[in-house]
Structure 1
Amino acid sequence: MLPKTPKPAFWKFVKGSAKVLFIAEAFAFAASYGVYYRMNTNREFRHYVNENFPFVLDYYYKVGEVLGDSNLRKLDSAVWRAENQKRE
């Protein structure tokens, strides 16, 4: 029978790091999908993102324009202008 030798600590570290990295990546994907879904379905959230993180909304619109013929940017700006005029 072959004697059992302990695995080097390096391989334990690699396996543990791979598990942590996989979990972190899955969490990041779920969070980014959640934000994308909310931006895709909620105009008020897009307005909030526009006020606080305009570069994120710009990338969202660019992705929509590249993947399809999206005129969501124009619709949102028209709705927000109309709302601002009502307030004034």
Structure 2
Amino acid sequence: MARTMEPGAKKIFKGVSVVELLGIFGAYFLFNKMNTSQDFRQTMSKKFPFILEVYYKSIEQSGMYGVGQQDQEKWLNSKNLSSVGWCSPD
């Protein structure tokens, strides 16, 4: 005999499922944005550096090395150029 869920339990189950789906889509959106935009990664480094560290570690696990170092070099160069009044060509 199949057991059915009570109405309150069904509501809770649906709510938890919706929250999990929103979390999955949010994580995908965040990863995709960080993966395609160096400027967004710079913003993340200022506001949420721990999330950026997780991103760098995850892409290193997938075999892409040096992205964090490239970001740091570009940000340092653009900071140095702006401090002397020069603009970065890109």
Do the two structures share a fold, i.e. TM-score over 0.5?
yes
Matches of 1:48 and 1:85, distance apart in 2: 18
Matches of 1:37 and 1:57, distance apart in 2: 12
Stretches of structure 1 lacking an aligned partner (at least 5 in a row) = 1-7
Runs of 4+ in 1 over 3 A off after TM superposition: none
Report which structure shows greater RCO (CA 8 Å, sep ≥6).
2
Stretches of structure 2 lacking an aligned partner (at least 5 in a row) = 84-90
Matches of 1:16 and 1:46, distance apart in 2: 38
Partner of 1:23: 18
The alpha carbon displacement at 1:72 in A equals 0.4
Larger Rg: 1
Does 1:46 find its partner at 2:41? Answer: yes
Percent identity among equivalent residues?
A: 25
Matches of 2:82 and 2:28, distance apart in 1: 33
Partner of 2:69: 74
The alpha carbon displacement at 1:29 in A equals 0.8
* Cα shift readout 1:22-69 (whole Å, capped 9, x = no counterpart): 111111111111111100000000000001111111111011111213
Partner of 2:58: 63
Comparing both structures, which one devotes a greater share of its residues to helix?
1
Does 1:85 find its partner at 2:77? Answer: no
- Aligned partner of 2:15: which letter? V
Q: How many residues align?
A: 80
Q: What's the Cα RMSD here?
A: 1.5
